[in-house]
Amino acid sequence: MTKPLTNKVALVTGSSRGIGKQIALTLAARGANVVLTATNADLLDEVAQEITAASSPKPLTIPAELTDEKSIIALVAAVEESFGRLDILVNNAGITHAAQLEDTSAADYDRVMAINARAPFILCRQALPMLKKAPRGFIINIASVVGVKGYPNQSAYTASKHALRGMSAALAEELAETEITVHLLCPGGVDTDMVSNVRPDIPKQKLINPKEIAEIVDYLTTHKGNAIIEEIHIRRKASNPWF
């Protein structure tokens, strides 16, 4: 039986581990040709092997440094050269910086903004010509609960995710007459390296499993119909409702 994403091409940033890895595994299992990217080439190769071992289409791995505009431009150009198309762009790569504002340097702030907000902006810009040619194009931006509220000790991270949310809303308006939809996911704590580093106090069993985020991306990219879900808030069961 043909899988729903057969022949589609999906670029997933930050797919060497964590949420991005699970999204890549899931999209590949649904038949997509996945392009894996992050800075750690060895980890990308391990994810590629995992995908191939699961009998999913062999992924392409392209290490790229998302603070560097030229690296992003080369990444998207390599996707075009290899496949000649792009159907799904998942802007997932991200970093955090846990410190009070008065202990956060301009360099710390700039790095968080570069990876979490500027890189998705450049990726969207570079990918749009290919996405516009796809029968249906998807841009899925992974923000955070801090894209809609503020957390102490996370001012740079919070600013970056608000920026990503704002850009997503503006881009969705710009693309309203096209076949491209823009989606923003705002998860609370997910069981990945990022949370282990900044919130080791939260027991793993109280965190969201990265597979649960991947399932939502699966739904968004395979759902057929007139309903468009633009923004999804995903909280931990242990946190307050309607954050």
Ligand X SMILES: NC(=O)c1ccc[n+]([C@@H]2O[C@H](COP(=O)([O-])OP(=O)(O)OC[C@H]3O[C@@H](n4cnc5c(N)ncnc54)[C@H](OP(=O)(O)O)[C@@H]3O)[C@@H](O)[C@H]2O)c1
Residue 213: name the closest of 12, 9, 5 by CA.
12
Question: Given the complex with ligand X, which of 47 and 172 has the nearer CB atom?
Answer: 47
- DSSP three-state, residue 217: helix
| Residue choice 31, 67, 69, 108 for contact with ligand X (CB under 6 A) | 67
DSSP element (H, E) containing 20 = helix 18-29
Q: Does 123 bind ligand X (CB under 6 A)?
A: no
* Contact between 117 and 144 (Cβ < 8 Å): no
Residues 3-22 close enough to bind ligand X by CB under 6 A: 14, 16-20
| Residue choice 6, 7, 40, 52 for contact with ligand X (CB under 6 A) | 40
Q: Does 59 bind ligand X (CB under 6 A)?
A: no
Question: Given the complex with ligand X, which of 77 and 176 has the nearer CB atom?
Answer: 77
Contact code string over 153-192 relative to ligand X, x by CB under 6 A = ----------------------------------x-xx-x
Catalytic residue among 109, 151, 157, 219: 157
First CA to last CA distance, the chain: 41
| Residues contacting ligand X: total by CB under 6 A | 28
Helix axes 155-174, 119-133, angle to 10 degrees: 20
Give the DSSP letter string of 175-215.
TTTSSEEEEEEEE--BSSHHHHHH-TTS-GGGSBPHHHHHH
Residue 79 C-beta: closest distance to ligand X, Å: 15
What whole-number distance in Å separates Cα of residue 57 and Cα of residue 198? 35
Residue 54 C-beta: closest distance to ligand X, Å: 19
Q: Under the rule (CB under 6 A), what is the footprint of ligand X? A: 14, 16-20, 38-40, 43, 64-67, 92-95, 115, 142, 144, 187, 189-190, 192-195
